[in-house]
Chains A and B, each alone.
Chain A
C-alpha cells in the first residue's frame, strides 16, 4: 500500500481509529501497520485523541462465563507451541518473580540517564534488572538505532559473587511468544560492555526486556536458558 503524503497517512490513521476505514482498505492498512512504526505512532495518537469518548461508555458487568472461557484458553499447556517454548511458558520459570516496582525502576532509570553522555540526541533504552524481591541488581543501557555503537553498557550494583564453575548469561526477551535470545556472557564487574551480535541489532531496540540466568561455565549448552533466572527487567525508552 502506497500511503504517499504525510497528510494521507494521518487521514488514514484517523479513519482507521474512527472505524470508517473499512473492508479491504482496513486489512491493507493493518498489514502496513505491522511494518511501519511511524504509522503505529500516528494511530496511537489518534487513539489517545478520541479515547475520552470511551470514558462515557456505560459500564456493564459481563457474565461470569466470559472470564471462565478466557481462563480456560490462557491456561498453561493450551499453547500450540511445543517443546522448549512450552517449558518456558509453563514450567514456572517466570512465576513468583515480581518485576521491580515501577517507581523504583523509573527513579533509577532517570538517575542513569543523567550519567549518560548527552552529546547526541539519540534515544536511550534502559533496563533495570531486579531479583525476585524487586531489588535492583544490575542495569543495562544502550543507544537505540546506534549506528556503529553496538555496545550494551552493563552496571552490576554492589559486590556480587558468581559461584565457581558457573557463568552469567544475558538474554534478550523479545516479547509476545518470542523465545529468549542469548546476548552473551557477562561478569560481576561493576561496569562492563557487551557487544550486540549484528543480527540482533534491530530486534534489541524492540525487545520487551532482558534477563540474566546462571549457566554452566561457557554458557548455556542448549541456546536457551537452562539455569535459574537471577535478574530480569523491562525495557524503558528514555
Chain B
C-alpha cells in the first residue's frame, strides 16, 4: 500500500477507537508533524506540547475526517498548524530569535527557499513553478507566513515594510498563486 492508503486505513481503524492503530498512525506521522510544529514554534518544549494536544484532538475528531476532501496527512497537518499558530499568537508571548532567513535558506541554491526543497511530487512541482512566477516580495511573504507562521505585523517588521504593503503582497500573491495552480479555466 502507498503511504496515503496506509494512513487512511490507520485513521479508519483509529476512528473506531483502536488504540494500537492510533499508535501506528503516530509512528508514521509524528516526526513530520513535529517538524512542522518546530518550524513555527522554534522551541522543542512548545512543539512537544502542541504535538500532544494535536494528537488528542485528532483522536477525538477522526470521525469527522472525510477522505474525499483531503489527504490524511494534509488533514493532520492542518490540525497541527492551527494549534501551533494559536499557541504562538497567545498574548505576551515572545518567540526567540529572528533567524527566519536561516530557516528559509536551508538549500544552497540561488534565491533559495522552501519552494526549492519541495519534494518531487507533481503537486509539489506545480506549486514550486507557481511560486517562482510570483514577484520575490510576494513569494517571500507567503512562504514566511506559511512555513514559519509569521503574522502580518511580524512580516512587516522583519521585511521593514509598511503593514499595508505586506498585506497587499500577501493578498495579490495568493490570488496569483490560485490562478496559476488551478489553470486558466478557473
Contact = CB atoms under 8 A, between A and B. Distances in A.
Interface string A34-58: 0000001100100111111111111
B123 A47 contact: no
A18 B170 contact: yes
Contacts, number: 176
A237 B128 CA distance: 32
B174 A11 contact: yes
Interface of B: 5, 8-9, 12-13, 15-19, 22-23, 26, 30-32, 34-36, 38-39, 44, 47-48, 51-52, 55-56, 59-64, 66, 68-71, 73-75, 77-78, 81, 85, 89, 106, 114-115, 117-119, 121, 123-124, 127-128, 142-143, 145-147, 149-152, 170-171, 174-175, 177-178, 181
Interface string A81-112: 00000000100001101110010000000000
Given A74-B19, A175-B63, A51 B171 contact: no
A53 B181 CA distance: 14
Given A60-B38, A62-B30, A67-B26, A178 B89 contact: no
Contact of B146 (A18, A76, A98): A18
A118 interface: no
11 contacts: A10-B178, A15-B170, A20-B152, A58-B106, A60-B34, A66-B48, A70-B59, A71-B19, A74-B56, A99-B9, A173-B63
- Interface SS, B side: helix
A54 to B, nearest CB: 5
A54 B36 contact: yes
B63 A176 contact: yes
A230 B85 CA distance: 44
Report the 10 A-B pairs with minimum CB-CB distance, sorted nearest first: A175-B63, A52-B124, A59-B31, A57-B35, A56-B117, A176-B63, A55-B119, A14-B174, A44-B69, A62-B34
A220 interface: no
B48 A208 contact: no
Interface of A: 10-11, 14-15, 17-20, 22-23, 40-41, 44, 47-63, 65-67, 69-71, 73-76, 89, 94-95, 97-99, 102, 173-178, 208, 234, 237
Nearest to A23: B89
A76 B174 CA distance: 44
Given A47-B70, A49-B177, A61-B31, 13 more contacts: A18-B142, A22-B152, A44-B69, A52-B119, A55-B121, A59-B31, A60-B31, A73-B52, A74-B22, A175-B63, A208-B15, A208-B63, A208-B64
